[in-house]
Amino acid sequence: MTFEGTVEMNSNTNYTIWPGMLLIIVLLNGCGGSSNSNDTDTLISNTYSTTSTRGDYSEWTLTGIQLAATWSVINELGTVDYTFTIAATCSASVADSSRNCTIDTASCADGEAVCSGSPSGSFVMMDVPGVALFVITESGSVDEQLHVGFIKSNNACSDDVSGDYTYIRTGLGEKDSFGMFRSDTNFIDVLHLDFGFETTDDNSSQSLAYTTGTESETFTDGGCSDGLRVRNNAGLTIRSMMTASGLFVLDLPAGEGGIISFDVRNAASVSDFANKSFAGISFPDNSTYELLTASSGPVTADKVSISTTIGTSASTINIMGLATADSMTAPAYPSFSSAPPGYDSSVLSADYSAANDIPGLFKFDQLSDSGRVVMAAMKFNDKVIGVGMVYNFRDTTDIDPGAGDGVTTFSGDGLYNTGNFILFER
């Protein structure tokens, strides 16, 4: 991720932005709530703040089977084009932990732009009651998006969020993949390190790249209300919801993908994946979303074997730390234990000398195609939640769905984020 640089938005105007900050979800202890799936069928009410793969900010309140949402459609400057208000009725959870929600009513309020319609029909939702909410939408006037969020705290404005955070990138078509940042008490002064991947012309060999431009960032404090902080950077508006224990959802302008991150003290280990059942959502760039289920075995040779079903396709893969030897070839994973060029000069490299020193990062072995996976995983109330990105080789003949126009091709040959997924312990 290059924190300095110019990107071209749909308006054909160039803006200098911090591309990595569209979606940040930091998961720490103490958010409360129960992990019992039956809670969603009672009148317990929870509100979740989410941001999407496009960059829209929403708040979803789930009370029993009733879901109410305010969904702000964000433009390239980070201001609100218009806001949807939605009321939906959701089914009970089925075997894969998904719930189908039917929109009962929806309206739209103008913002910077005039409303062009409101969502209609149905969408898929998955929730970990009192913890997290994941929604796939493709309704009416909006494109298919993956919304990810955690339970909201209205007392967040005074919270101390200082610490080190591991992150994974989301957003199709992005070149940067994962990294770490260090925040001050109020998310004003931030240090960060960022990694992506480079490859040979035939993608037979891959290498890790340190992609940070300016390591230090200072944001302008735009105030805080009802737990939602506003930050500004290079003329762009950023929205941030932070919980009393440090969880925060941070949303930047549309079209730049995002980040999901967590305090390093809550990083999962390989053993946390052993002998468990999981559910989740896969969101690829070349097809519609797919629901997934998985079950795992014990730790063997620093790996955990996990049997997965994505849609109708079943496979068995291994989850392991970045430094563990794997069997992948054509291409092989790059070395995560060697510092890429430029990284040694980073302030954070004093504490994290190589990528595999960053807590809570994993890779997958025994994959059946040329895509490679990096996942960030955290523990919350003794439950594991992992968010991963799949990177693949794309050339200028491939359509880039992350551009949002359906026709834009990739600007150059290389390795890009071609899908994201969420995996959570049931």
Is 250 a residue whose pLDDT tops 80?
no
In a domain, 52, yes or no: no
Q: How many domains does the chain have?
A: 1
CATH code, 284: 2.40.128
Are the C-beta atoms of 392 and 152 separated by less than 8 Å? no
How far is the C-alpha of 124 from the C-alpha of 348, rounded, in Å?
A: 40
In a domain, 35, yes or no: no
Q: Which of 280, 267, 275, 272 is nearest to 306 (CA)?
A: 275
Range of the domain at 405: 268-321+348-425
Are the C-beta atoms of 415 and 211 separated by less than 8 Å? no
In a domain, 176, yes or no: no
The pLDDT tens digits for 354-375 are 999 999 999 999 998 899 999 9
SS3 state at 148: strand
pLDDT-derived band at 224 (thresholds 50, 70, 90) equals confident
Q: DSSP per residue over 357-419, as a string?
A: GSTTEEEEES-SSS-EEEEEEEEETTEEEEEEEEEEEE-TTSB-GGGSSS-PBPSSSEEEEEE
In a domain, 191, yes or no: no
Distance from the Cα of residue 298 to its chain's centroid: 27
* pLDDT average, residue stretch 162-177: 86
Q: Which residue has the tokens 């809670």?
A: 39
CA angle 280, 284, 288 (to 5 degrees): 85
Looking from the CA of 174 toward its CB, the CA atoms found within 13 Å total 31
In a domain, 421, yes or no: yes
In a domain, 141, yes or no: no
Looking from the CA of 96 toward its CB, the CA atoms found within 13 Å total 19
Are the C-beta atoms of 424 and 209 separated by less than 8 Å? no
How far is the C-alpha of 158 from the C-alpha of 308, rounded, in Å?
A: 42
Q: Which residue has the tokens 């894969």?
A: 96
Which stretch of DSSP H or E encloses residue 46? strand 45-52
**Six token digits for residue 191:** 């240090």
Mean pLDDT of the chain: 82
In a domain, 44, yes or no: no
Quote the DSSP letter at residue 48.
E
In a domain, 386, yes or no: yes
pLDDT for the residue 27: 30
**Six token digits for residue 237:** 């508006």
* pLDDT average, residue stretch 308-315: 88
SS3 state at 423: strand
The pLDDT tens digits for 131-164 are 778 888 764 445 677 887 777 777 778 878 888 9
